[in-house]
Amino acid sequence: MEKPISIEIWNASGKYRVVSSKPMPGTRWIRLLTDQDCRVEICTAEKTILSVDDILGLIGNKCDGFIGQLTEDWGEVLFSALRKAGGTAFSNMAVGYNNVDVDAATKCGISVGNTPGVLTETTAELAASLSVSAARRIVEADEFMRAGHYKGWLPNLFVGNLLKGQTVGVIGAGRIGSAYARMMIEGFKMNLIYYDLYQSTRLEKFVTAYGEFLKTNGEQPVTWKRATSMEEVLREADVISLHPVLDKTTYHLINKQSLATMKKEAVLVNASRGPVIDEAALVEHLKANPMFRVGLDVFEDEPFMKPGLADLKNAVVVPHIASASKWTREGMATLAALNVLGRIKKFPIWSDSNRVESFLDENSSPPSACPSIVNSKQLGI
């Protein structure tokens, strides 16, 4: 078994052993654990993605709780080992947990924590940034400028798409999807079409009110429409942002057929989960339709891109940074640590995992609760 290269230890004499597979932003999360008599061990190995064997080595013979990352494969092997080591708590430093076998964790009596409520606006901002970057060809223009190709203004130089008055489509109008929609509507005066299994009444009221505001100021009001199908969004929208959860029903939601439904000059944005898009089909579509553009923060086979994607000028690609604001990442680390600490201390579950401001206030002690445990009902906690 390959052992981690190095470990950083805080509060070596602590009663409870908590392990983090990666260094996380800030130090508040460490202090919150050490103040509660936890020995904190942080793997500082240079390896980007730890294997199952690596993590087994980290768990060792005694481990009360573990903080992991979405790049790790947490299944029966790891949860069994964590339970055997006396552990009861695991938390992803992420809102998503498709890398975690929750049933296996529950079977082993391990709680699974995640970190919603802290990355909504940050992720929506990144999706909006990708939308603008792709529509206005900003990355292409930046590379052109840096390469010394600019010789002066030209009428046809990097002509892109105007967003004002166009239609933004949102697939999955939950917290992040709705925040993104508000940014695009209020920022660029775009009309909205959205598809979700549930009606987003709050978002609809926002668009209606903003439309009335524009109308009273002599401007064209924005409109909203709840689509009856995803295909309706794909057909009608000029910019489409994907915000569904990843499960069997949304795997390859965007494929060869759905891409063919979209406008030839549409912009597609994905800051949710990579496998929502059939990336190989997307590459072929981008090649065949040079005015079609995408902005991608996530990829089907992370950390790799499908062959050909990196060579395409009509693709803006960034390395899974949607939540990468300082405040958000430090907040995610705090919530993950408190999920583990709360379970170790047998704290109750917080009443609303999407309202976590009380846990993030650095000027006060956090509530004695687990911020978000996805299998709390199954475990009876």
Please identify every residue annotated as catalytic: 273, 302, 320
- Report the C-alpha gap between 365 and 257 in whole angstroms: 52
How are strands ordered across the β-sheet holding 293-296? 224-226, 191-195, 167-171, 239-242, 267-270, 293-296, 315-317
Antiparallel, parallel or unpaired: β 7-10 and 38-43:
antiparallel
Measuring CA to CA, which residue among 118, 113, 117 is closest to residue 97? 113
Contacts of residue 202, defined as CB under 8 A and 6 or more positions apart, other chains included, come to 178
Measuring CA to CA, which residue among 122, 174, 56 is closest to residue 329? 122
Burial of 89 (0-12, 13-18, 19+ CB in 10 A): buried
- Report the C-alpha gap between 372 and 312 in whole angstroms: 40
Measuring CA to CA, which residue among 247, 238, 98, 235 is closest to residue 172? 247
Tokens of 145: 């400028």
- Report the C-alpha gap between 266 and 286 in whole angstroms: 11
